[in-house]
Amino acid sequence: MVALLLAGAPPALAQADNTNSIHWAYSTYFGSGWYRIGAQRDAFALRFAPRKVVREASIGDEGQAVSGAEVRFPVTVGLDQFPLNDLAGTVDLGNLANVSFTPGVYFDIPVNTRWSLRPFAAAGWGTVLDGGESAWSYWAGLRSRRLLGRGNVRTALVNSAGFVGYSPSNGSSANFWPVMTAVELSHPLVALAGGDELRLDWHLAYTFFAADFDVLARDAASDPIADQWELGLAVSRRERRMNLWFFTFERVGLAFRTSSDGKLKGIGLVFHSLYDQ
C-alpha cells in the first residue's frame, strides 16, 4: 500500500457539520494521494519519505544471505484543497491542515534468490495545525515477495499482513489489520538511447481489513469498510532510477483504489514496488 495515498482530514474534523472522513492520523501510513468516501468531501495528503540505507541485502556466490536494513523518515501533510489549476497554492500555509512525522525501520531478508521477506515497524506523532488535536501513529507488519517470471518480463507475487493504529489526544484509540495479496508485472515499453529502456510496471492488489477500517461520521458513529482493491500503473527505467527535479524514484505512476461496496474511492502516487513501500 508507500507510498501511497491517503487522506489528511482537515481541521473541520472537529466541527459539528463535518461529513464522513478517515482520521487524518492514518495518512502517514497510506501516503500521498486523494480519497473520497461516498458523496462526501474530498481529502488529500502529501508524504515525503527520505530513506537511509544502513546495509544492502545480498546473496553470495555460495548462497549465504545477508539481510539489509534501512531507516525511513516520512513527513506527511494533510491539505484542505488540491486545485489542479493552482498547484502552487497547495503549499500555501493556509492550505495545510495537519502534519505528521513517523520514522520507521524496514528490513530486507533474502530467503533465496527468488523469495525475500520485509519486516517493518514505525511510530511517530502528528498534530492538526489549529492546535485542536494531536495523535500518535504506529504500524508494524511483514511483507513477502516471490519472483515468478524470468527474462525481460518480470512477475512477482507480493503478500503482507500488518497492524496500523493511532492514539489521539482527544478520544479513543483505533486500529485496523490490513492483509494484502498482489501480483506485479513489469515489461519493456520503449527502447531508449544507450541501450536503456522504458518499462511499464503495473500491479493488482486486494487488501482485506481483518478488523474493519472505520470511517468517522458526523454523528460520531462509524462506517466500517471491509476491503480495498488497487490497480497501479507506472513507468520505470531498466538501467537507472527516474528523476524529477532533485528527487529520484524507482518508478512514477498512479494507483486507483476502491472498496468492494464502492463507498471508498481514491488515487495514490506510485514511486516504489508494493514490497518496498
- Domain annotation for the chain: domains and CATH numbers: 11-270 (2.40.128.130)
For residue 194, give the C-alpha cell.
544507450
pLDDT, tens digit (0-9, with 9 covering 90-100), for 191-219: 776 677 899 999 999 999 876 566 544 44
State residue 72's pLDDT score: 95
What's the pTM value of the predicted model, to 2 decimals?
A: 0.83
Higher pLDDT, 201 or 170: 201
pLDDT tops 80 at residue 61: no
State residue 119's pLDDT score: 98
Span 72-81, average pLDDT: 83
State residue 20's pLDDT score: 43
Higher pLDDT, 63 or 19: 63
Nearest to 115 by CA among 72, 159, 61, 69: 159
State residue 222's pLDDT score: 53
CA angle in degrees (0–180, nearest 5) for 154-257-118: 50
Span 81-89, average pLDDT: 53
Greatest mean pLDDT among 70-74, 90-94, 187-191 lies in: 70-74
- Looking at 125-139, 162-176, 197-211, 240-254, which range is the least confident one? 240-254
Q: Which residues of 95-123 are buried (b: 16+ CB within 10 A; e: fewer)?
A: bbbbbbebebebbbbbeeeeebebbbebe
- Asked whether the CA dihedral 80, 86, 91, 92 is positive or negative, the reply is negative
Span 213-232, average pLDDT: 68
State residue 273's pLDDT score: 93
Greatest mean pLDDT among 6-15, 114-123, 229-238, 256-265 lies in: 114-123
Instruction: Work out the percent of the chain whose per-residue pLDDT is above 90.
Output: 38
Q: How far apart are CA 19 and CA 37, in angstroms?
A: 9
- Looking at 7-21, 78-92, 227-241, which range is the least confident one? 7-21
pLDDT, tens digit (0-9, with 9 covering 90-100), for 12-54: 333 333 444 567 778 788 878 877 666 555 667 888 889 999 9
Q: How far apart are CA 195 and CA 229, in angstroms?
A: 36
Span 258-276, average pLDDT: 88
Residue 244 — pLDDT band, cuts 50, 70, 90? Answer: low
State residue 142's pLDDT score: 98
For residue 80, give the C-alpha cell.
484542505
Across 49-133, the runs of DSSP E, i.e. the strands, are: 51-55, 58-59, 65-66, 68-72, 75-79, 96-101, 104-110, 115-128
Span 106-123, average pLDDT: 95
Which amino acid, one-letter code, is at 139? W
Span 223-229, average pLDDT: 83
State residue 221's pLDDT score: 45
